[in-house]
Structure 1
Amino acid sequence: MRKFCCVLLAMLPLSAWAYPIDVQKQLNGLSIDYTAYDTDVDIGSIELNNFGSTDAVCSVVFRNGPEAPRTRKVEVVAGKSKNVTVKFNRKIIKLRLDLSCQAK
């Protein structure tokens, strides 16, 4: 019985998994790289890296099911990176991001 309980407790971390993140991007020829993160069950974030030589103005629309989309605008200086984060009222099941960047 003890072995069974130990195995069951060891398998608990396997049940905690991240939500899927879909990113639709429109970079308009800019050298922008991104990494999306599942920060918490109700917080999503994306890191934008500008590898180009021109500054960029980016807009990120976060969508989580029935909640209203949240838009964040950020300026990413050439050679730098920025984090964009949003907190929802409900638990995220699937996060959809629309990333659009223009040269400044």
Structure 2
Amino acid sequence: MKKLCSVMAGCAVLAMLPLTAFAYPIDVQKQLNGLSIDYNSYDTDNDIASIQVNNYGSTDAICRVVFNNGPESPRTRTIEVPAGKHKNATAKFTRTIIKMRINLTCTPK
């Protein structure tokens, strides 16, 4: 009986662990030029990074997002974020991301 409880407790601990643990740190440098912009960055996969840009202001914005994971060339995305809306930008790399650096620059449209 003791052995069965021990095995069941071990299984319970293993079940609480995530199946994939590919989290990496994401640093975001932002230049918002007075706009009411907020963001959420995500480690979508071990080689994919994404950012959601939220525009809480009353002015449409053009945002330039540069994803940089180090040894590979940076990926640049330009998105137009209407007032009161949000948009996503995503970049896929050929190598596993160890640390992601994102530069977010937004200007009024």
Q: Same fold (TM over 0.5)?
A: yes
Cα deviations by residue, 1:44-83 (Å, 9 ceiling, x for unpaired) = 0000010111110000000001000010001101111000
Partner of 1:95: 100
CA distance in structure 1 between the partners assigned to 2:20 and 2:60 by the alignment = 42
Shift of 1:8: 6.9
Partner of 1:23: 28
CA distance in structure 2 between the partners assigned to 1:15 and 1:78 by the alignment = 36
CA distance in structure 1 between the partners assigned to 2:94 and 2:20 by the alignment = 23
TM-score (norm 2): 0.85
**Which runs of structure 2 are paired with 1:18-97 in the superposition (5 Å)?**
18-97=23-102
Q: Secondary structure of 1:13's partner?
A: coil
Identity of aligned residues (%): 67
Shift of 1:12: 4.6
Bigger-Rg structure (1/2): 2
CA distance in structure 2 between the partners assigned to 1:95 and 1:27 by the alignment = 20
Query: Structure 2: which 5+ residue stretches go unaligned?
Result: none
Cα RMSD, aligned residues only: 2.1
How many residue pairs match? The answer is: 104
Shift of 1:103: 0.4
Shift of 1:10: 4.0
CA contact (8 A) 2:22 2:46 kept: no
